Homo-oligomer: A and B are copies of this chain.
């Protein structure tokens, strides 16, 4: 565990990802979009969804023909406030950002709109798309299903993805409220990190193959499953399970894509579905009044009395904005083993990772 952290300019990382994907046949504008979204994850401190996935989630799948480098995004059904778009097994980031952009445009006229995407792939951080609505002072919502990793309450097999919920809401004179949460307690990457470090995980994060909660990360990874938010039945883990099902239905079933165990099967197109929604605040009350009340609520929560031993109450998205400010100033941190992996994949593709660390 003597990993060294190297830091890079975000623009440099973006350019690298761009070249890498472009080399694999992704058109330049689409490669740029994907690069921006992957590096945004690293900037925001969600490195599990950042450039570390460039090869495993995207590059290698394009090479194997599991992801199409072109993302057509063809409308299947359309009304003034709704659309179902077919991503044609293209890149999730490209499909998602274009779908959300469309949703935002529709919301300008319709005041509330939903765009559903079928036949897509892993789209990076859900929060990115929800946040796109902020520029128009809309509320943005973004959901996606994903590869099964989470067991239903009283089950012991992974049936549902970590199906995230992201909501972005503007606020007057301060940072927006940005929730971006998996409906499992933790993502699978947290379990892997503990296994690598030879450390037990807190009881509740996951179960072994018999469905029993375990502190042993290897047992969770080998035939076990992640726990839904809430954990055990006594702490109402079925609520996290039910939320994961809602996200699966709105993302996978509403769009006509994969759902449940049929999502992201090994060696086949993932057939992931996304759900994007935007709300025009001004249709409900004057925007400035809404944003003023938002600021009041955020301040009220922040100033609430702290539990003994605690000094700060966080607002959704705050940690990520602070991380981003730091990473923009100091550079995006990557572990040297991640850099090695990028370079190795890059050499195979013909785009060696030759960036200079800061």
Contacts and interface: CB of A to CB of B under 8 A. Distances in A.
Contacts of A113: 112
Contacts of A279: 114, 254
B204 A313 contact: no
Given A111-B79, A159-B300, A230-B229, A308 B186 contact: no
Given A77-B283, A151-B304, A212-B308, 10 more contacts: A82-B284, A153-B314, A155-B307, A156-B308, A157-B305, A177-B245, A185-B230, A185-B235, A242-B316, A259-B297
27 contacts: A76-B285, A81-B111, A81-B112, A84-B285, A114-B284, A139-B254, A154-B313, A156-B306, A165-B243, A169-B249, A185-B230, A186-B236, A204-B234, A207-B307, A211-B307, A211-B308, A211-B310, A229-B230, A230-B230, A231-B235, A245-B301, A253-B293, A254-B281, A254-B285, A254-B290, A260-B300, A261-B300
Interface string A194-234: 00000000101101001110000000000000000111001
Contacts of A169: 246, 249
A116 interface: yes
Contacts of A238: 314
Contacts of A82: 111-112, 280, 283-284
Contacts of A177: 245-246, 249
A18 interface: no
A283 B83 CA distance: 8
B229 A310 contact: no
Given A235-B185, A249-B169, A249-B177, A305 B111 contact: no
Contacts of A312: 154
A322 interface: no
B242 A256 contact: no
Contacts of A313: 152-155
Contacts of A230: 185, 229-231, 235, 240
Contacts of A284: 77, 82, 84, 114, 116, 254-256
Contacts of A151: 304, 307
Interface in A90-141: 110-114, 116, 139
Interface in A50-87: 76-77, 79-82, 84
The 3 closest A-B pairs by CB, nearest first: A211-B307, A154-B310, A82-B283
A167 interface: yes
Contacts of A21: none
A294 interface: yes
A181 interface: yes
A80 B280 CA distance: 13
Contacts of A152: 301, 304, 313
A210 B114 CA distance: 43
B242 A181 contact: yes
Contacts of A316: 242, 245
